[in-house]
């Protein structure tokens, strides 16, 4: 079977499984990206995400993750939902976390695609990845023609925007490889100008994650620094600002994944209900959600920071008892 025919079969099955689009890149060491990653880490832009310093060789060389790897199959799974929370004063949650945790939803379909490939092509050495391993997924998506990496550093597809999850299958099969798309950000700086915490470099294409609201509300384990008070744009989990203002997201289409639908009560909750949220309500709303990464006390910390004038010195670190 030719590499072109293999790519055609995998592309068709991926679309049947619900993936929005797919591309193929040749597996090789990422030397230029290695230098950029080293510089980013040296500047401390990863904040307290010390795990970003681990497995450096695996991040820049896919053959370290899958011996004999020849290809990176890159896929995108749409999560765009135009529905917003009804109370404009309520603390906000990023729409990627409205429904069930994408790690499990997308991984299930990714494994089904790998199983299909094994049925069609025989024994394959391959692994599935969904934002949970040392893979430079946005660079591979760019190389596979899924889009360009915009000034906000997220992957933008010219017909779908940027509201999608990235996933990869690294395997030892050869395919017909796609070519990267050119960068169409042009002179636009909407994401840079709109970022509430100025986390994006003035020239774009570089993110100080330690200033990013998503980092502050999800990854940061200590209290949110006072420097960010009044700058969080009311986000309690994640942030969609740079995507909301991106002109390319006028092409975003509502997802068709039932698992990504929010709990019936989620978008209707008022500011007062969020301020008074109990652990029982938290568990009901976010039973299978990515919000559980912050845990109940972490979400309460975020809400407290948004609506209190200052953090009490005696405030309990929500992760102290872990």
- 296-315 pLDDT, tens per residue? 999 999 999 999 876 444 44
Per-residue pLDDT at 139 = 97
| Residues linked to residue 75 through DSSP beta bridges, in sequence order | 22, 167
C-alpha triplet 102, 105, 109: angle, nearest 5°: 130
Instruction: Of 245, 241, 281, give the one whose Cα is nearest residue 264.
Output: 281
Per-residue pLDDT at 133 = 84
Per-residue pLDDT at 308 = 86
Per-residue pLDDT at 51 = 82
- State how far the Cα of 107 lies from the Cα of 130, in Å rounded to an integer: 6
Cβ atoms of 209 and 199 closer than 8 Å: yes
Cβ atoms of 174 and 70 closer than 8 Å: yes
C-alpha triplet 248, 242, 138: angle, nearest 5°: 75
Cα distances (angstroms) measured from residue 138 to each of 79, 120, 145, 150, 229: 17, 28, 11, 10, 31
Per-residue pLDDT at 182 = 96
Domain ranges of the chain: 3-171
Q: Which of 61, 87, 101, 131 is the catalytic position?
A: 131
- State how far the Cα of 277 lies from the Cα of 61, in Å rounded to an integer: 45
Cβ atoms of 170 and 62 closer than 8 Å: yes
Per-residue pLDDT at 321 = 43
Taking 70 as the pLDDT cut, the residues of the chain under it are: 310-322
Instruction: Of 302, 310, 303, give the one whose Cα is nearest residue 219.
Output: 302
pTM > 0.75: yes or no: yes
Per-residue pLDDT at 315 = 46
- 195-208 pLDDT, tens per residue? 999 999 999 999 99
**131 is annotated as an active-site residue:** yes
Count of CB atoms within 10 A of residue 5's CB?
12
């Amino acid at each position: 079977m030719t590499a072109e025919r293999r790519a055609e079969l995998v592309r068709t099955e991926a679309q049947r499984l619900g993936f929005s689009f797919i591309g193929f890149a040749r597996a090789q060491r990422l030397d230029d990206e290695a230098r950029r990653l080293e510089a980013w880490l040296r500047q401390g832009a990863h904040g307290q995400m010390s795990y970003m310093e681990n497995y450096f060789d695996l991040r820049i060389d896919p053959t370290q993750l899958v011996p004999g790897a020849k290809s990176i199959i890159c896929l995108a799974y749409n999560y765009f939902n135009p529905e917003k929370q009804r109370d404009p004063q309520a603390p906000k949650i990023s729409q990627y976390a409205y429904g069930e945790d994408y790690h499990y939803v997308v991984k299930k379909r990714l494994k089904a695609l790998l199983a299909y490939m094994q049925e069609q092509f025989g024994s394959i050495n391959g692994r599935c990845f969904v934002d949970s391993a040392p893979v430079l997924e946005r660079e591979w998506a760019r190389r596979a023609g899924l889009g360009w990496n915009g000034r906000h550093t997220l992957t933008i597809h010219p017909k779908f925007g940027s509201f999608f999850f990235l996933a990869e299958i690294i395997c030892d099969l050869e395919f017909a490889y796609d070519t990267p798309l050119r960068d169409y950000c042009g002179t636009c700086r909407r994401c840079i100008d709109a970022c509430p915490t100025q986390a994006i470099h003035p020239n774009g294409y570089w993110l100080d994650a330690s200033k990013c609201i998503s980092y502050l509300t999800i990854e940061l384990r200590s209290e949110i620094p006072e420097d960010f008070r009044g700058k969080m744009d009311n986000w309690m989990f994640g942030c969609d600002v740079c995507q909301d203002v991106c002109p390319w997201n006028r092409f975003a289409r509502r997802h068709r994944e039932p698992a990504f639908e929010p709990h019936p009560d989620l978008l209707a909750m008022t500011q007062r209900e969020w301020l008074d949220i109990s652990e029982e309500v938290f568990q009901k709303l976010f039973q299978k959600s990515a919000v559980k990464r912050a845990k109940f006390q972490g979400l309460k910390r975020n809400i407290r920071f948004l609506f209190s004038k200052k953090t009490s010195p005696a405030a309990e670190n929500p992760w102290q008892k872990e």
